[in-house]
Amino acid sequence: MSHSPLPRTIRGVKALIAVAFGVASLAAVNPAPPQGGLVFLRAEGNVARPYFMAADGSGQQRAPVPGYPIYSPDGTRMLYVVNALNPKGASVQRLFVASADGSSKHQIIPDTSGWYQFRDIAWSPDSRRIAYVDEFEVDFASIWVVDRDGRHRKPLTGKWNLDPTWSPDGRTILFTSHLPADGWRLFTMDATGHHRRELVGEYPEDASAIYAPTWSRDGQRIYILVAKSLYVMNRDGSNVQNLTPPGLTIGYYALSPDESQIVVHGVTRPSAARDIFVFAPGGPARQLTTERGADQWPKWSPDGTKIAFESNRDGNSEIYVMNADGSEQTNITRNPAADTSPKWIPSRRLRH
C-alpha cells in the first residue's frame, strides 16, 4: 500500500535532528551548558554529535548526552532521543529527560518497535508536560502527551496528525491534521484532547504545504508558513494576513522575543542560495547576509540582540553569530568538521 508523503514540517526537521545515531562516550563529569550559550551539532565521522559553546564560540565541548538537547522553557531540563538496539537486536527509539547538565537522566517512554519514531517533540510552557508525535508512516502518526517523569501518558488524537504546539497558557494545542478532501489543515484542541476544532481561514489549501505553527506571546494570533509564504491569523482562524515581503520566498522563520521583527531564510530568485532577511510584520524585508554560499536557520538570542545561523560561505558548514542589524558576522566554531543546527540555550530559572 502506498502512502502520501509527509509534509516536511519545520518541527519535523527539528525532531529528526534530535535523533543521534549510536551513543556517545560520555564524560565522567557532566559539563554544564553555558548560560546564554548555544548547542549545535558537529559531524564526527558519519554521526552528528551535540556540542555546547559560549555565545562567542569559546568553551566548545561535547554535550553529556547522545541526542540533540531540547531544553525545557525554564531551562532546568532537557529532552533527547536516541536510536538503540533492544536485547533482541531490534531497532528502537528511546526518549529521555535529564537535568540541564545531562545528569539525572531517565527514559520516560518504553522502547518503540520497528519503524516507529518520535517527532515534533514540544515542552509545555510550564515545563511539566511533553507533547510528541508517535509515528509509523503518516497513516499512524498520532499526538500524545506525557508528564516529564513519564507518568500519565495518553494519546490525544488518532492517525494523520502532526506538529503539536502548546499555547502560551498551556491550555490549548495547535496541530496539523490531514483531511482526505482538503490535505493538511490547522486545528486546535484542549490540552486534554477534547474540543477539536478546525481553523477555517483563508490561507492556501496545499496538501503538501509546510506548516510551522507558532503562537504569539499573548496567545491571540497564530503564525504559519505555507507554500513558502508567511501568514498570521487570529487564534480562531479569522483575519488571515500574508506577511511575506514582495519578491521573497521563505523557507524558515523565527519571531524575535518581543515579536517586533521576523527573521527568515529565503531567496529572491529561484537559483539563488539562501540568505537571511529581517522585517517587521507587514513591512519590507532587509537582507542581512550577502556572502557567497548558503546562510540559513537563523535563531534569535533570548534577549533579541543577536542572531545565530548556519553558513557554508567559507566552504565548510560553520555556526555564525551577528548583531540583530546584521553587523559583525562572526564565525564562532572555526572547526574543519561540519557544524550545523545552532540553538540558544535558555537561562535556567527556579526549578519547579
Of residues 147, 165, 149, 59, the one with CA closest to residue 99: 149
Nearest to 95 by CA among 133, 128, 62: 133
d(CA 329, CA 323): 7
d(CA 7, CA 205): 13
pLDDT at 206: 62
Distances (CA, A) of 244 to 41, 111, 272, 278: 30, 42, 18, 11
How many independent structural domains does the chain possess?
Answer: 1
Q: Is residue 268 part of a domain?
A: yes
| Rounded-to-integer distance, Cα 52 and Cα 64, Å | 9
**pLDDT attached to residue 112:** 65
pTM, two decimals, is: 0.86
The span from the CA of 21 to the CA of 75, in Å, is 25
How would you classify the pairing of strands 77-85 and 19-21?
parallel
What gap in Å lies between CA 216 and CA 259, rounded to an integer? 8
Q: pLDDT tens, position by position, for the chain (352 residues)?
A: 333 444 444 444 444 344 443 433 343 456 666 677 999 999 998 889 999 999 999 999 999 999 999 999 999 999 999 888 777 777 788 899 999 988 999 999 877 655 568 889 999 999 999 999 987 655 678 899 999 999 999 999 988 888 999 999 999 999 998 877 777 889 999 999 999 999 887 777 665 666 789 999 999 999 999 888 999 999 999 999 999 999 999 999 999 999 999 999 999 988 889 999 999 999 999 999 999 999 999 999 999 999 999 999 999 999 999 999 999 999 999 999 999 999 999 876 544 4
Distance of alpha carbon 90 from the chain centroid: 28
What's the pLDDT score for residue 141? Answer: 83
User: What is the structure's pLDDT at 10?
Assistant: 44
The CA distance from 245 to 50, in Å, is 35
pLDDT at 245: 96
Helix residue ranges per DSSP H, 247-329: none
pLDDT at 34: 67
Domain CATH for 334: 2.120.10.30
292 domain residue, yes or no: yes
**Residue 86: its pLDDT value, please?**
76
Share in percent of the chain as helix, strand, coil (round to 5): 5, 45, 55
pLDDT at 298: 98
- The CA distance from 201 to 182, in Å, is 13
Give the domain range for residue 334. Answer: 245-343
- Between the alpha carbon of residue 339 and those of residues 42, 83, 259, 320, 332, the distances in Å are 5, 21, 28, 10, 10
Establish if 118 belongs to a structural domain.
no
For residue 207, the model assigns a pLDDT of 55
- Decide if 305 is inside a domain: yes
- Give the closest residue to 265 by CA, choosing from 307, 232, 219, 237: 307
Is position 174 within any domain? Answer: no
User: Would residue 72 count as lying in a domain?
Assistant: no
**pLDDT value of position 113:** 57
Quote the pLDDT of residue 136: 63
DSSP H helices in the chain: 10-17
**Among 292, 293, 261, residue whose Cα is nearest residue 277:** 261
